[in-house]
């Protein structure tokens, strides 16, 4: 039972991280029908900025610690990643608006390779040790048995981020514009919605979520390198497709399914097979429901 519980918890946290990244994929796809392959790199950059800022601020010169350090680092890496996301869209995607759908896709792959190489050059290709930023929490013994503090923080941050995102999309005017653009971009523009601004906001929000994911994965795995974005990005993309790309609840559910599948497969079968199980589930679901769990197979308008 303990073994099951620990697998369950690890699947849940893994799924949460995937969800934070998958949201960025699915939101961008919902708005401009682009698979932003460089999105995983934003997550990796979020992790690296978190590492750099925690060294700077946690070092003797500034001497921050505990929750202050964690929250400051989170805010700064989110801000940094947001700037990366914003700039990436302006440089690599905005000039290609109106080009064929393959052009921005290639541009995204190029952006992804560029960012990986850039970080590899600046930060070395080695695994770097990530500090344990999560402060000690005194959990009741019963809770502590089921979940450790890092996992707890990951779950709380993810849950808060999801709720905040849902509220933003449902109740703010920018969220409303995003829903309108997702349904009919041309009509939204004809109603005076500034498309470029909506797209920028989408990239910024996606990047902030990814950066939080990067920070949390650093705290959880305790080491990062320039390549973590590629694998996590692939998994999160899979999760987004699994849930139905373009759908926000779909991304979260897809990510959780993927997280559980990997975790249980690693525990009960073998960790070498965990990816295989995850992708078998993807294939089964897409065979039964090609649009993904929450996706609607759309009839093409002629």
Partner 1 sequence: MTEAASCRPPDSVLKTCGLSMVFGGLVALDRVDLTVERHSITALIGPNGAGKTTLFNCLTGIYPPTRGSITFESGDGRKISLKGLAPDRVTLLGLARTFQNIRLFSNLTVLENVLIGCHGRMRAGLLGALFRDKKTRAEEKAFIDFSYDLLVRYGLKASVNELAKNLAYGAQRRLEIVRALATGPKLLLLDEPAAGLNINETNELRELIETIRTSENLSILLIEHDMNLVMNVSHVIYVMDYGKLIAVGPPNEIRRNPAVIKAYLGEE
d(CA 77, CA 127): 19
d(CA 258, CA 236): 9
How many residues bind partner 1 (CB under 8 A)? The answer is: 23
Indicate whether 189 belongs to the interface with partner 1 (CB under 8 A).
Answer: yes
Q: Please report the sign of the dihedral spanned by the C-alpha atoms of residue 249, residue 253, residue 256, residue 258.
A: negative
Q: Which is nearer to partner 1, 1 or 190 (CB)?
A: 190
Indicate whether 117 belongs to the interface with partner 1 (CB under 8 A).
Answer: no
Stretch that binds partner 1, among 11-19, 43-51, 176-184, 287-295 (CB under 8 A): 176-184
Q: Which residues pair with 223 in a beta bridge?
A: 129
Q: Say if CB 216 and CB 74 are below 8 A apart.
A: no
Give the residue, chosen from 20, 28, 119, 193, that forms a contact with partner 1 under the rule CB under 8 A: 193
3-state secondary structure of 224: strand
Q: How far is the CB of 30 from partner 1 (least distance, A)?
A: 12
- Among 7, 17, 18, CA closest to 239: 18
Sole residue written with tokens 């429901």: 289
Token pair, residue 186, equals: 């041309």
Indicate whether 163 belongs to the interface with partner 1 (CB under 8 A).
Answer: no
Q: Which is nearer to partner 1, 94 or 120 (CB)?
A: 94
Indicate whether 199 belongs to the interface with partner 1 (CB under 8 A).
Answer: no
Question: DSSP alpha helices (H): ranges in the chain?
Answer: 2-32, 39-58, 66-88, 102-123, 141-146, 149-171, 173-183, 185-190, 195-221, 228-243, 248-268, 274-288
Indicate whether 271 belongs to the interface with partner 1 (CB under 8 A).
Answer: no
Q: Which is nearer to partner 1, 172 or 271 (CB)?
A: 172
Indicate whether 197 belongs to the interface with partner 1 (CB under 8 A).
Answer: yes
Give the residue, chosen from 126, 183, 223, 270, that forms a contact with partner 1 under the rule CB under 8 A: 183
Indicate whether 201 belongs to the interface with partner 1 (CB under 8 A).
Answer: yes
Cα-based angle 72, 78, 83 (whole degrees, multiple of 5): 130
Stretch that binds partner 1, among 27-35, 177-185, 219-227, 284-292 (CB under 8 A): 177-185
Q: Say if CB 60 and CB 234 are below 8 A apart.
A: no
Give the residue, chosen from 173, 272, 283, 287, that forms a contact with partner 1 under the rule CB under 8 A: 173
Query: Which residues contact partner 1 by CB under 8 A?
Result: 172-174, 176-177, 179-180, 183-184, 186-195, 197, 200-201, 204
């Amino acid at each position: 039972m303990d073994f099951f519980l620990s697998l369950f918890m690890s699947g849940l946290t893994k799924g949460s991280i995937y969800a934070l990244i998958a949201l960025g994929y699915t939101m961008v796809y919902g708005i401009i029908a682009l698979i932003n392959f460089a999105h995983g790199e934003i997550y990796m950059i979020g992790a690296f900025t978190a590492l750099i800022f925690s060294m700077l601020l946690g070092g003797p010169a500034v001497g921050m610690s505990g929750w202050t350090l964690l929250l400051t680092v989170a805010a700064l890496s989110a801000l940094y990643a947001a700037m990366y996301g914003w700039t990436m869209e302006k440089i690599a995607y905005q000039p290609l608006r109106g080009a064929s759908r393959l052009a921005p896709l290639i541009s995204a792959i190029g952006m992804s390779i560029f960012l990986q190489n850039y970080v590899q050059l600046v930060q070395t290709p080695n695994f770097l040790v990530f500090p344990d930023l999560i402060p000690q929490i005194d959990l009741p013994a019963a809770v502590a048995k089921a979940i450790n503090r890092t996992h707890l923080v990951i779950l709380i941050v993810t849950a808060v981020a999801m709720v905040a995102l849902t509220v933003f999309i449902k109740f703010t005017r920018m969220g409303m514009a995003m829903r309108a653009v997702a349904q009919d971009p041309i009509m939204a523009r004809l109603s005076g919605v500034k498309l470029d601004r909506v797209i920028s906001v989408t990239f910024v929000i996606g990047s902030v979520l990814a950066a939080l994911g990067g920070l949390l994965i650093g705290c959880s795995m305790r080491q990062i390198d320039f390549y973590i974005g590629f694998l996590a990005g692939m998994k999160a993309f899979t999760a987004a497709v699994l849930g139905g790309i373009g759908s926000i609840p779909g991304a979260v559910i897809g990510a959780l399914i993927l997280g559980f599948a990997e975790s249980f497969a690693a525990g009960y079968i073998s960790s070498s097979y965990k990816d295989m199980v995850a992708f078998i589930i993807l294939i089964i679901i897409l065979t039964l429901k090609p649009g993904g769990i929450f996706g609607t197979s759309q009839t093409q308008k002629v």
